[in-house]
Amino acid sequence: MKVTEHIAQSEGKTLFTFEILPPLKGQDIKSIFDNIDPLMEYKPPFIDVTYHREEYTFKELENGLLKKQVVKKRPGTVGICAAIQNKYSVDAIPHILCGGFTKEDTENFLIDLDFLGIDNVVALRGDAVKSEIYFKAEKEGHRYASELVSQIQDLNNGKYLDEELQNSSATDFCIGVAGYPEKHMEAPSLDSDIHFLKKKIKAGAEYIVTQMFFDNQKYFDFVEKCRKEGITVPIIPGLKPIATRKQLNLIPHRFKVDLPDDLIMEVVRCKDNKAVRQVGIEWCIQQSKELVAAGVPILHYYSMGRSSNIEAIAKEIF
Ligand code: FAD
């Protein structure tokens, strides 16, 4: 079922959903199920599965030269989606990227998803590979998520890359895209970022999931700005509980989001990461309560591969 249909059917009740990462190559699917199992009690209508593009590593050869290697550390997005739908009978939502994909790769990926009975996709640009500063699209690929949304929407209209295909069948994906209450790290301003967000909606996206934020006011202001710009689709807040002291530096650095001073000081005063985890859970519970009271359609949690803190939050809220 489509995300938009889940929202329509919830009759105003806030739904619980979460995102998981495929395991590192070499681990089995049990590690994924072990994380999902305890969360099923809170009846998520769907589970997102992230996509991780290739990385470049350098291996030193005997002659001292370096050999460039391409590795995908977390493959398996599509397989995990199929396994989730099969085991739990809930919708699995794969993330799909511009990065590392040609248009042909994208089309074939979408055909696989359609055959598997997947109804939703989250369309993203992806970040630059680690060895590069700026994102570089494949020669025959997309530069921006809005272009990727257009290709998915074309397929929804039965338009394949080979326009001469006869009797081609249309897909029916509901498309989600990313939004950034504190603006995307490369955007010159929040207004320009929202301008391009609107482009993704115009291209066919039907809902937005936000980057994590730790101050609800940032989300409320963002929604207000989007509505003023004529963006009417659901804007699903994405939440992540802080779990380690190291994240105080890592989160602002990697995601370019601010942490409120009160939260920072509470974490700084913690004796160990067990205490930090508890602070993160309590902060996220307060955020969740306020967002539910404000009537958000869904609370979407970033599990980052671990579910025990998400479970503690869900227990209080759902
Ligand atoms: P876009 O919407 O293409 O925007 C990228 C930048 O370009 C923005 O600054 C925007 O303002 C600007 N821009 C857009 N269109 C134009 C234009 N036409 N001209 C000029 N500028 C333009 N990454 C992964 O690798 N895997 C995942 O599974 C994943 N899941 C995510 C889920 C969510 C909910 C979020 C919020 C992020 C996720 N990401 C994931 C990270 C995401 O790929 C990065 O944040 C990436 O840098 C931007 O992706 P985007 O889809 O927002 O890009």
Long-range contacts of 72-78 (CB under 8 A, 24+ apart): 72/25, 73/24, 73/25, 74/21, 74/22, 74/23, 74/24, 74/25, 74/50, 75/22, 75/25, 76/22, 76/23, 76/29, 77/22, 77/49, 77/50, 77/51, 77/52, 78/109, 78/112, 78/113, 78/116
C-alpha of residue 18 to centroid of ligand 1, in Å: 19
C-alpha of residue 60 to centroid of ligand 1, in Å: 34
Q: How many domains does the chain have?
A: 1
Question: How many alpha carbons fall within 13 Å on the CB side of residue 224?
Answer: 7
The atom number, within ligand 1, closest to the CA of 255 reads: 45
Q: Shortest CA distance to 210 belongs to which of 184, 247, 232, 175?
A: 184
Domain assignment of residue 118, given as a range: 3-317
Length of the chain: 318
Query: Residue 302: its pLDDT value, please?
Result: 97
Across the range 118-131, mean pLDDT stands at 94
Q: What angle do CA 293, 296, 301 make, to 5 degrees?
A: 105
Query: Residue 163: its pLDDT value, please?
Result: 87
The atom number, within ligand 1, closest to the CA of 148 reads: 3
* 58 confidence band (pLDDT: 50, 70, 90): confident
CATH classification of the domain holding 227:
3.20.20.220
The atom number, within ligand 1, closest to the CA of 77 reads: 28
Q: Shortest CA distance to 175 belongs to which of 104, 242, 119?
A: 119
Q: What does the alpha-carbon distance between residue 12 and residue 9 come to, in Å, rounded to a whole number?
A: 8
Across the range 287-295, mean pLDDT stands at 98
Q: Would the pLDDT of 306 be above 90?
A: no
pLDDT tens string 73-106: 999 999 999 999 999 999 999 999 999 999 999 9
Ligand 1 binding pocket (C-beta < 6 A) is: 50-51, 53, 95, 97, 122, 124-127, 144-146, 178, 184, 186-187, 192-193, 196, 200, 209, 211, 238
C-alpha of residue 8 to centroid of ligand 1, in Å: 27
Q: What does the alpha-carbon distance between residue 238 and residue 19 come to, in Å, rounded to a whole number?
A: 9
